[in-house]
Every structure is written in structure tokens, then in C-alpha cells.
Amino acid sequence: MSVRARTVLLALGALIWAALIFWASSKPNPFPQLPRGLFDHDKLLHAAAYAVLGGLVRGALGGVPFRPWVALGLAVAVGTAYGASDEWHQSFVPNRSSDPGDLAADAMGAAAGAAMAALILRRQRARASIRA
């Protein structure tokens, strides 16, 4: 797969994932099958969701000519900004609220996912340079 095709595919994946986060945030109880107590301590769910988003954004930025640390910072910034907008959005949804702790979990998840994607991209580039 070409770098351009992978970039487009990962950017599309990030947009779809962001739309799924928005959809879940629009529901008063997005996952009724999970125990209610889980949502009292939902930081892991926030971190996991935003780790996926951060990873997809960082992967999409892998095809853009940025220095790796700039792409990592942008991915974390995009994930955190989306998390902030999500928390604001939840403040308007019945039975949901905006929580600074959730935003912190979103930011940490975005950073972890972006860092993991950066490591994977670095390893792929190293393998490609060895083959060349």
C-alpha cells in the first residue's frame, strides 16, 4: 500500500472513530449492557477510546512531511482538543456531564495511542531502510 493511500485510510479511520465517539457521547447511557458502576469510574474507557483516536491521527500524519516529534505533538493536540469538545458536548446531553478528569484521561489516551503509532511507524521505516 502506498504512503498516500495509507495516510488517507488512516485519516478516514480517525474521522469515523471521532464520529463514533460523538455518537456515544450523544446518548444518556451509550452502553446499557455494561454495569452501571463502570461509568462512575470510566477513565479507562475514555483513555482507550482516545488512544485509538490518537493512534489513527498519528498514523495519518506519518505520510505528511513533518518531523516525528511535531507529528506526535499534533496528534496529541488533536486528540485533546477533540476530547475538550466532547466534554463540552456532553454537558448538553441528559444524564451526562462534563468532567475535567475525563478530559485528562482523553489527553493521556491520545498521547499513549500517538506514541504507540509513532513507535510502529519508526519500526516500519527502519525495516524499509534495511531492505533498501
Looking at per-residue confidence, does 70 or 36 come out higher?
70
Q: What is the rounded CA–CA span in Å between residue 46 and residue 37?
A: 15
Q: CB neighbours (10 Å) of residue 75?
A: 28
Q: What is the pTM of this model?
A: 0.87
Query: Is it the case that residue 34 has pLDDT exceeding 80?
Result: no
Query: Is it the case that residue 127 has pLDDT exceeding 90?
Result: no
Name the residue with cell 489527553: 107
pLDDT tens track for 77-108? 999 999 999 999 999 999 888 999 999 999 99
Domain hosting residue 89, numbered range:
3-131
Domain count, the chain: 1
